Each structure stands twice: as structure tokens, then as C-alpha cells.
Amino acid sequence: MDWIQKHARGGLLCLLIAVPSWLLGQRFPVIGGPVFGIVAGMAMTLFLKDKSGLQSGITLVSKKVLQYAVVLLGFGMDLNVVLETGRQSLPIIVSTITTSLVIAYVLHRVMRVPGNVAALVGVGSSICGGSAIAATAPVIDAEDDDVAQAISVIFFYNMLAALLFPALGGILGFSQTSGEAFGIFAGTAVNDTSSVTAAAATWDSLYGLGSATLDKAVTVKLTRTLAIIPITLVLALRRARTAEVRTGASFRLRQVFPMFILYFVAASVITTAALHMGMDAAVFAPFKVLSKFFIVLAMSAVGLNTNIVHLIKTGGKPLAMGFACWAGITAVTLGMQHVLGIW
């Protein structure tokens, strides 16, 4: 009972922000619920003079609910379909992820972008936007300001990609009778699922391809999502080694292992096995919806913990880093498609 009393008020405030943000995200998918949640949370916190009675609940939602969202994300992963698509798109995915992470690391050094912000922008750009940021933030112990900064950068380039990429595909001469080339392009070069869906659906609509492009893009996007596993493990090990050098404390894998990633893998395996045995995929649909809502809920809490003035003052360098990652990924995916004969 004490635990409930301690966290209820802050948790309820996050929920009150998250529900309308979720509905707005459904209405305007190019922007997405997480962005509405962060913005609403930052606006709300300007009017809260004393958050002491709310802080424990807000912190719980911003940290733990992000992890629950990643676990539930696993129920949307049919590993058989992902691996089948991966045979064709894996070289492109590996190349784009490597490109983005290298660019983020170099600019972190050159531009002196804070390490956690650089990691979140690099991972969010290269893997799957908000979901990757949600998975990475707890592992590197990122502050809510860092998460808000990264989400803002990813959102900006997501929106541009959803609006510009269909026109770019036409200029570059992607096939208008098959959704394969543009589907792979959208699935690898666009950050977040909502914008991948928007760009691919636009291409289908422009050239009367039904849902061929959308199906391809979303499957490639799911294949990218699996990169969350090795990336988070590497970051956890790196953080532990750094702490070991700094403090002299002995290193123990169990102390830094992100258990929620293990649960994410378990959820993916359960889904794959169930679908293989003939279970209807619709059974797992509520888990995927709940995962997306949990991300909106957590981002609402992140917004409540974010200093909007500080965010604006420090936003220039992360935005430049996001552009460099986005441009690098776009160039590499186009180059790899050309090399592999897809485009």
C-alpha cells in the first residue's frame, strides 16, 4: 500500500498526458505519440512549481515502463519471417548501422556532444528510432534530458524522411511496378516505424502496389530491430568496464546485463513458436499495441523530467549529428542496393 501511495500520483499524471498523446499519435502518425507525449510533458512541467509528491511516480514510469515496452515489443517479432528477409537485407542493415554508429562516435569526439546523447542519437538513427532509444537508455543510465534530446532529433528527421523519400525514390528511378527496392530503402533508411509505414504506404498509393512496399519495408524494419540485442549488450559491457577502470571495482556481468533484453528475446521466441504451431498472429496484436502505448507513457514521464530551456539551448549539436547519421545511412543504403543489384 505504501508503494502505491508513493507512486500513484506521479503515475496517474503520466497516464493523463499519455492517453491524449496516444490518440493524437494515431491521428497524426508521421509525428507519433511519443513526440506528443514528450512535448505535452515538457509543457506541463512548466506549470508545476512543486513536483516532490509526483517525482517518484514519474521516475518509475520513465525508467521501468520503457523496459516493459521493449519486452512487449518482442511479441511482434516472428523470427522466421525476420530471418528470411534478413538474407537479402542483412548486408544493407549491417552497413547502415555501422555507418551511423561510427558517425555518432566521431562527432561525439569532434563536436563534444555528450556521450549518452551521442549514443542515443546513433542507435536511434541506425536501428529503430524510439524503440531503440527506449532499450538503450536504461542500459547506459541516460538522463531524461538525454532521452528527450535524442527523441526530438529522431522525430525531426523521421518527419522529413516520410515527406521527402517517396519523391526521392521517384527521382532515383526505383521500380514503380515492384515495391521491393523502395521497401528496402524505407526499411533501412527511415528511423521509426511510424515514418517507415508512412513512406512505404505513400509509395504503394502513388503506384497502385497494394501493400507490397509496406509489407517489405515493415519486415526489413523488424529485422533491424533485432540489432537492439547486440548493441545493448555491448553498451552494457562497455559501461561496466569503464566503471571498473574508474573505481577499481571487480567486473560482474550479472550486475550490468540488461535482463529486459533477455525477456525481449524470450517473447520473440514464444511468438515464433506459437505462430509456427498455427496460432493466429492476431493473438499477439494487443501486446504490440500495449508496447507502443507504454513508449508514449514513458515519453510523457520523460517530458515531465525535462528542462525545455536547457533542451533548446543545447539542441544544435545533436541536431547536426542526427543529420550526419541520417545522410550517411541514406547514402550507404542506396550504394549497397546498387551494388547488390536491387536498384
Per-residue pLDDT at 250: 57
Crossing angle of the two packed helices 259-276 and 66-73, in degrees rounded to 10: 30
| Domain count for the chain | 1
In a domain, 4, yes or no: no
Q: Note the pLDDT tens digit of each residue in 7-56.
A: 888 899 999 999 999 999 888 876 778 888 888 998 898 888 777 888 88
**Confidence class of residue 86 from pLDDT cuts 50, 70 and 90?**
low
Domain membership flag for residue 204: yes
What pLDDT sits at residue 330?
Answer: 93
Residue 192 lies in a domain: yes
pTM score of the predicted model: 0.79
Going by C-alpha positions, the residue among 307, 213, 222, 293 that lies closest to residue 32 is: 293
As a whole number, the mean pLDDT across the chain is 85
The DSSP line for 55-123 is HHHHHHIIIIIHHHHHHHHGGG--HHHHHHHHHHHHHHHHHHHHHHHHHHHHHHHHH---HHHHHHHHH
Residue 140 located in a structural domain? yes
Query: Does 294 map to a domain?
Result: no
Phi, psi of 319 (to 5 degrees): -65, -40
Asked whether residue 42 is assigned to any structural domain, the reply reads no
In the DSSP assignment, the letter for residue 282 is: G
Residue 206 belongs to some domain of the structure: yes
Looking at the chain, the whole-number percentage of residues with pLDDT higher than 90 is 23
The three grid cell numbers given for residue 268, joined into one nine-digit string: 520473440
Question: What count of Cα atoms within 13 Å lies in the side-chain half-sphere of residue 30?
Answer: 13
Domain membership of residue 196 as a residue range:
75-287+307-340
87-145: per-residue pLDDT in tens?
778 888 889 999 999 999 999 999 999 999 999 999 999 887 778 888 888 888 888 88
Place of cell 536498384: 343
pLDDT at 102: 95
Q: What is residue 240's predicted lDDT score, i.e. its pLDDT?
A: 73
Mean pLDDT over 269-292 rounds to: 89
